[in-house]
């Protein structure tokens, strides 16, 4: 799956989970950039992403995510 398409789908997931239509993600977006993105929400986001793309992240992969771009790269790698 193309990285831009992954980013668009991840953006839809963030909008749904955070219930905020105004969210526009970029590859450099971090939890510090989105007020509602806390540790509990992070878990909900990861679960929603895994369900949508039918993939599983390891704990180590999740710990290494520094921004949305890292998440999208991991999704793209697992959905090739």
Domain count, the chain: 1
User: What pLDDT sits at residue 14?
Assistant: 98
- Whole-model pTM: value is 0.94
CATH number at residue 17: 1.10.1200.10
Q: Which domain holds residue 67?
A: 3-78
Any idea what the Cα angle at residue 37 is, between residues 58 and 28, rounded to 5°? Answer: 75
Phi, psi of 74 (to 5 degrees): -65, -40
Q: pLDDT tens, 2-50? A: 889 999 999 999 999 999 999 999 999 999 999 999 999 999 999 999 9
Structure tokens at 61: 């992969």
User: Which has the higher per-residue pLDDT, 77 or 2?
Assistant: 77
Task: Report the length, in residues, of the chain.
Answer: 80
Q: pLDDT tens, 53-66? A: 999 999 999 999 99
Report how far apart, in Å, the C-alpha atoms of 15 and of each of 35, 63, 64, 67 are.
13, 22, 23, 16
User: What pLDDT sits at residue 80?
Assistant: 84
């Amino acid at each position: 799956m193309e990285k831009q398409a992954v980013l668009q789908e991840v953006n839809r997931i963030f909008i749904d989970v955070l219930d905020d239509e105004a969210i526009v993600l970029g590859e450099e977006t971090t939890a510090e950039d989105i007020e509602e993105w806390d540790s509990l929400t992070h878990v909900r986001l990861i679960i929603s992403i895994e369900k949508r793309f039918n993939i599983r992240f390891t704990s180590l992969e999740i710990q290494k995510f520094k921004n949305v771009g890292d998440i999208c790269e991991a999704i793209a790698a697992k959905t090739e």
